[in-house]
Amino acid sequence: MDLPTGMLTDRFGRRHDYLRISLTERCNMRCTYCMPEEGIPLRPREQFMRQQEVLALAEVFTGLGVRKVRLTGGEPLVRNDADAIIRGLALLPLELAITTNGVLVDRFVPTFHAAGLRKVNVSLDSLRPERVAAITRRDHFRQVMGNIELLRREGFDLKVNVVLLRGMNDDEIGDFVQWGADQGIPVRFIEFMPFDGNRWNMERTVPQEEVLRKLHERFGEHALEAVPGEAHDTARLYRLQGAATAFGIIASVSNPFCDTCNRLRLTADGKLKNCLFAGAETDLLSAHRRGEDLAPLIVRSVLHKARSRGGMEDLEQLSDPVLHSANRAMVAIGG
């Protein structure tokens, strides 16, 4: 196969230069939208990427034009060798970022600084401790809020991710926007998405249109202004008039950004997913252990990427449990 020079481009002209690498399926929280209540089966360690395998596969991707890597999980920082992996990835020609639940961040601030990792997204689904405990099935609110403040003081490019769940935290949308404006912290509202075991239904999803309506009701019809974004932004950006900090809405269900998607995903067990919603995977780890050339496998996966949401073109298909349960649980994909 003739490989493209320095890029991964699919049939729809989308160039892929951003890779999300899941370091582990383990997590120190049990978020209702991410992990089935019964958890997921534990598997032998040899089924997952070792430290040097993470670095080797990342190097292959950088050779094909990937220029940004975001570490995810599970919770990436619960992995014993997370420090070594972060420092190893810092030696590659890429921008390094991480998404974390924030519980262990204070232990890794020196590592982030040493590795030049500046972009940190922290998950926080409520500003109320009792609600965080209900959503995450763990009581880490004070630790997370303390680490958000630590990251802010240390000058990181910090964002806070909020998964909206109808009847659980959708009455806090205005509170989060005001908090983000006051603290100078960009907030990203994420629509509840369907994955195996998370009991998704459309009635529990708070769509972009409703988020904006709630904000207009609270702050006034003309209180929001749209903010221009970058070409591959997943979020539509807005800010309160007079505020310096924007907030965003990631509407993967009601208003997806598939036309400009530049993202690929590598699961903790070394499977390449060309879309978050795709059930199909390419086993890179097994091929790597056999000494095979991974570049043709990666290129082929990108070429077969569906136009939208793993081939689920409309809400009727997205709502079909047969289709979305063919995918993994979110914790096993990588947030």
CB contact at 8 A, 27 and 42: no
The model's pLDDT over 303-321, given as tens digits with 9 standing for 90+, comes to 999 998 766 666 666 666 6
Q: Which tokens belong to 263?
A: 């993202």
Q: Which tokens belong to 43?
A: 């598997």
- Which residue, among 260, 264, 332, 268, has the nearest Cα to 298 in the 3D structure? 264
- Rounded to whole angstroms, how far apart are CA atoms 150 and 254? 34
Q: Would you say residue 6 has pLDDT above 50?
A: no
Instruction: Work out the number of other CB atoms within 10 angstroms of the CB of residue 272.
Output: 25
Q: Would you say residue 80 has pLDDT above 50?
A: yes
CATH number of the structural domain spanning residue 289? 3.20.20.70
Q: 299 lies in a domain?
A: yes
pLDDT at 322: 58
Stretch (H or E) spanning 300: helix 295-303
Report phi then psi at 68, rounded to 5: -140, 135
Mean pLDDT calculated for residue range 35-43: 75
Q: Is 102 left (phi over 0), alpha (psi -120 to 50) or beta?
A: left
Q: 9 lies in a domain?
A: no
Max alpha carbon distance in the chain (Å)? 61
Give how far Cα 12 sits from Cα of 20, 65, 267, 322, Å.
Answer: 21, 17, 24, 27
Q: 314 lies in a domain?
A: yes
Q: Would you say residue 330 has pLDDT above 80?
A: no
Q: Which tokens belong to 175?
A: 């509170």
For residue 284, what is the DSSP state?
Answer: H
Please state, for a pLDDT cut of 90, what percent of the chain lies above it.
73
**Alpha helix ranges (H) inside 64-102:** 82-89
pLDDT band at 241 (very low <50, low <70, confident <90, very high): very high
Average pLDDT, the chain: 90
Range of the domain at 218: 18-333
Q: Would you say residue 4 has pLDDT above 50?
A: no
Q: 293 lies in a domain?
A: yes
Mean pLDDT calculated for residue range 71-88: 97
- Rounded to whole angstroms, how far apart are CA atoms 328 and 89? 26
**Alpha helix ranges (H) inside 154-230:** 173-183, 208-219
pLDDT at 32: 81
Pairing of strands 236-240, 224-227: antiparallel
Q: Would you say residue 240 has pLDDT above 90?
A: yes
pLDDT at 253: 81
Instruction: Work out the number of other CB atoms within 10 angstroms of the CB of residue 166.
Output: 16
CB contact at 8 A, 185 and 156: no
Q: 5 lies in a domain?
A: no
Number of domains the chain is built from = 1
Q: Would you say residue 40 has pLDDT above 90?
A: no
Q: 97 lies in a domain?
A: yes
The model's pLDDT over 161-203, given as tens digits with 9 standing for 90+, comes to 999 999 999 999 999 999 999 999 999 999 987 655 445 567 7
- Rounded to whole angstroms, how far apart are CA atoms 180 and 160? 9
Any residues with CB less than 8 A from the CB of 163 and at least 6 apart, and which?
A: 31, 33, 123, 125, 190, 191, 192
pLDDT band at 142 (very low <50, low <70, confident <90, very high): very high
Q: 12 lies in a domain?
A: no
Q: 328 lies in a domain?
A: yes
pLDDT band at 335 (very low <50, low <70, confident <90, very high): low
CB contact at 8 A, 270 and 286: yes
3-state secondary structure of 123: strand
